[in-house]
Structure 1
Amino acid sequence: MSDSRPSGHPCVLPGDDGRPCGRPSGGTPFALCPAHVELVVEWAGTEWGTTDLLPVPCRACGSRLGVRYPSGWACAACEWRVGDVLDDGLPPPRVDVVYYIRFQDRVKIETTANPRRRLARIWHDEVLAFERGDRLVEHRRHEQFAAWRLDRSEWFKLAPEVEDHIGRLAAGVDDPWARYARWLGEAAALHG
C-alpha cells in the first residue's frame, strides 16, 4: 500500500491552542511532526514499557534484558519484577529439560535440571532446543529415535526425523536459553 500524501504533509495533532499543529511531518509515513512522534513514543513507553538492559541481572533467571515501566523494571525473559525478593527459605526452582545439542553431524538428547552447568562440560557446536521434561521424556525420545542411536549412547545421527522433531521444538524460538529462562522465571513465580 503506498501513501499518496506528499512528503512533509502537515501534522494533524493539536498544538497548545487546540488547532492542528500544522508543522511538516518530515517524511514520516503518517501525519505527525517529529515533536509529536517523540511524544507518542514516550507515551507508548510508559503504557507498554521500554526494552533496555536491566540495571542488574535478573535474580530469578539471570537475564540482562528488561522492560522499564514507570513503576519499575521487569525481566524481559521471565517477567520477574526487579527488586522483588526471592524467598531464601525456599529451594531454587527446578525445571527439568531435555536438551538437544549438536556436535558435527550428531545430536545428543539428554535431560538435566541445570543445563548451564551440564552443557559447560560437554563439547558441542550448538544448542538446538530445550523441551520441558524429565527422564521419562528423555527415555521416550530415545525410543522414538532408536533407529538413529549411536551404539548405546545418548548421541544420535542427525536424521531427518530427528531434525523435524527439533525443528518443531524450536519453532518460533530465536534463543533456546531465553525459553529456558522464561520457564525458570515462571517456576520461581509459582514457587514463591
Structure 2
Amino acid sequence: MCGGHVALVVDAAAEHLGVEDALPGPCPVCGSRTGVRWPSGTTCSTCEWAWGDVPDGELPPPRVDVVYYLRQRDDFGDRIKIGTTANPRQRLAAVPHQELLAFERGDRTRERRRHAAFAADRFPGTEWFRTTPALLEHVAAVADGIDDPWALHARWVSEALALRG
C-alpha cells in the first residue's frame, strides 16, 4: 500500500476508535452484546474483556467476594440488608428484596466492619438494618458513579480472569 492509502486507512480507523458498537457475539465473560473499538482490538463495554480472548473453560470461575446492600420494603418497614457472598446471583435470588442498592468488593471482614459501623440500627439477630440517613449516605458513597451494580461485578470478574492469565 502506498503512503497516501496508508494515511487514508489510518484516518478512517481513527474515526472509529473508542466507538461503542455491537460485538460479533456475546461477551464470553459477562454476556454483554456491546463493545468498544480500540487500536489494540475491541473490548466488551461492560466488563472490558478483550474480544477474541477465550476464558479457560477448564478452570473454575474466579472468586470475587462482594458486600451487597439490598433494600426491602414490606410490613416490617423499610430496611437494608448488608451481606456478603462470592456468588451474588445465587445469593440475591434467595433473599427477598425490592432493590439492589450497591456492591462493594470485600469479604466477611468488610461485612463485619459495616455491621459494626451501623450496629445501633441493626435488627437484633439479623443482617437487616433500619434505613437511616447515615446508612443511605454510606450506600450512596459506595454506589457513587455506578449506574448498574451488575456491570461493576462483571468488570471485577473480568479483571480476576485477566489476572489469572
With normalisation by structure 2, the TM-score equals 0.83
Q: Output the aligned Cα RMSD.
A: 1.9
Alpha-carbon distance in structure 2 between the residues aligned to 1:137 and 1:75: 29
Correspondence for 1:149: 122
Give the 3-state SS of the residue equivalent to 2:43 in structure 1.
strand
- The structure that is strand-richer by fraction is 2
Alignment of 1:112-123 (within 5 A): 112-123=85-96
Gaps of 5+ in 1: 1-39
CA-CA distance at 1:85 after TM superposition: 1.7
Say whether the 8 Å CA contact 1:49–1:67 is kept in structure 2: yes
The alignment's TM-score, normalised by the length of structure 1, stands at: 0.72
- Cα deviation, residue 41, structure 1: 8.7
What is the aligned length? 151
Q: CA deviation at 1:114?
A: 1.1
Sequence identity percentage = 58
Matched, 1:90 2:59: yes
Distance in 1 (CA, whole Å) between partners of 2:163 and 2:118 is 34
Find the partner of 1:108 among 81, 90, 113.
81
Q: Give the match for residue 191 of structure 1.
A: 164
> Which structure is higher in RCO with an 8 Å CA cutoff and minimum separation 6?
2
1:63–1:181 Cα contact (<8 Å) kept = no
Q: 54-63 vs 137-146, which deviates more?
A: 54-63
For the structure 1 residues 161 and 80, does the alpha-carbon distance in structure 2 shift closer, same or farther, using more than 3 Å as the test? same
Q: CA deviation at 1:69?
A: 4.7
| Higher gyration radius (CA) | 1
